[in-house]
Structure 1
Amino acid sequence: MSRQFQTGCTIEVEHSDESLHAHVALDGEPAMRPGDAIQVHGDPIHVAFGERRTFRRTATVTRASWIERTWTRLTAGLEFGELYDVSFTPRRTL
């Protein structure tokens, strides 16, 4: 089984008085486990104050090894389904 796979994703970003957040939803909603990492690819996202926008991107999911999952559970102290990492990587421009 491969430790990495690519999938599409939807990113919702809000920048307002009520909230400043970014939510990532992976296509097909694959089960995420402690220590798994998601890297979202594409151009930088800019949302002006008072806006809420939705973007489509490609993401790479890297599955944690057994030891990484165990270590994450032991050190984080959070619920099982809440332990994963999301990062955004802007596309390089020449």
Structure 2
Amino acid sequence: MIPRKLTVPCTLRIEHTFDSLEAHVELDGGLQPGIGDRVYVHGAPVSVPFGERLVLRRVATLTRANFIERALTRLHAMFLLTELYEVSFSDGRV
């Protein structure tokens, strides 16, 4: 049986540049979060000045979603996806 909560070391990569503003967490041991799973990175908040990149080692807790949480996440994602659709059959004149 897979434990519901796992605490593992991780690598945190943060970039705050003109081209990109992003943060990525890579869990050690090849662990991959699934649909509805939550990842909590422990430690103090990080501030990266503009134009810099930062790589940190931290500890993270991965909480696996149960069946209902996975199903609700999938359902919610389907509704969010439909918000991106805009279909119009008019010629633009009112």
Compute the TM-score of the two structures, normalised by the length of structure 1: 0.77
Root mean square deviation, CA, Å: 1.3
% identical aligned pairs? 51
Structure 2 partner of 1:7: 8
Q: Deviations over 1:10-35 (max 9, x none)?
A: 01101111001001100012132110
Q: Is the 8 A contact 2:10 2:25 kept in 1?
A: yes
CA distance in 2, matches of 1:54, 1:39: 17
Structure 1 partner of 2:62: 61
Compute the TM-score of the two structures, normalised by the length of structure 2: 0.77
Q: Compare CA radii of gyration and give the structure with the larger one.
A: 2
Higher relative contact order (CA 8 A, sep 6+): 1
CA distance in 2, matches of 1:67, 1:55: 34
Structure 2 residues not aligned, in runs of 5+: 81-94
Which contiguous aligned blocks of 4+ residues in structure 1 show a shift greater than 3 angstroms? none
Structure having the larger proportion of residues in strand: 1
Number of equivalences: 78
Structure 1 partner of 2:30: 29
Structure 1 residues not aligned, in runs of 5+: 79-94
